[in-house]
Structure 1
Amino acid sequence: MTQLPAPRPAWEARPVTPDAAIVTAQTYTVRSGDTLAAIADRTGASADAIARANALLPPYVVVAGQTLSIPGGRYHRVHPGETGIAIARAYGVPWSQVVAANDLVEPFILRAGQRILIPGVPDRTSSAAERAAAFRLDVDSILTGGEPAVAANQPAVTPTPAPRPTPGAPKPP
């Protein structure tokens, strides 16, 4: 009986290929049935970047006829197991700049399929060795950007504080 090799662990960090899509800044007129996610897929930008550029608040409702500003830039689609630090390194930019450009908050959880904006001007002439030589890594970056991306169909687990009892409310059984 032939045994197949064991699958790679889900938590294992994967190498990153710098294959960002270049999106031109543009406007988009919302059509009937559009969602923010569908608009992001259609334009290549990230849904988060579109929401920030248009001051949309959760639950990010868009209305037919509404004109949205689509921010231009380089957008990397996160693949399972990629880490924020590895993505930053693949593009030769500091992780802190990726965090700032995407308005990420701790614990900096990336999800497979998520698009993140890569700051800076794309440099098509630099080699992987040149990008690596320009990259600096510090302890803070290791602690905050080293978690592999979770699968798109798995929710990220973030701790939520226990609810506080309301004065005068009945006690739970």
Structure 2
Amino acid sequence: MTQQFKERYQYNRRVLEWYDALTVTVAVIALLFTFVVRVVQVDGTSMNPTLQSGDRVIIATFLQPDYGDVVVIDGYIPYGKPLVKRVIGKAGDVIDIDFEAGIVYRNGQALSEPNIAEPTWTYESVNFPITVPDDCLFIMGDNRNHSMDSRDREIGCVDVRDVMGVVVWRVLPIQEMGAIE
């Protein structure tokens, strides 16, 4: 073997190693964004002041929604559009709303809701109190009086299987980047 052949062989080997590394990286990222996390754009003002229309958020598809989590509900629900809302109640919880005082109750306890834009004054079409059915969530937007959520019969309590994921991080706009409370 000549020196020139050895150098060419080593160069080609390094290039192939880079291609292999790049291919594996792209495959891992594709799998990550398919099965673990997704980027979703917020559409509408129902989550103001927490999230604004046009914000891009990362959702974790593997997390189980808990009280207070912001979740993305799949567009396959009867409403027909993906929803970004906060979990207020889970299966078996009794949700009640005092529309005169603007207070939401879960199992008889008034919720502490520092994230909402204003108290809950707007009544929709669901009669309260309501017991959340098995395998369902009661969801509401933070901009309570400008949100279509579980208070409306068109949406109602949503099946946990329709939850695309839990919002964990805002990525855009850059100046607002950070964890979602």
The bucket for the TM-score relative to the shorter chain is: under 0.3
Specify which structure has the higher proportion of strand.
Answer: 2
Look at both structures and tell me which one has the larger radius of gyration over its CA atoms: 2
Q: TM-score by structure 2 length?
A: 0.22
Q: TM-score by structure 1 length?
A: 0.23
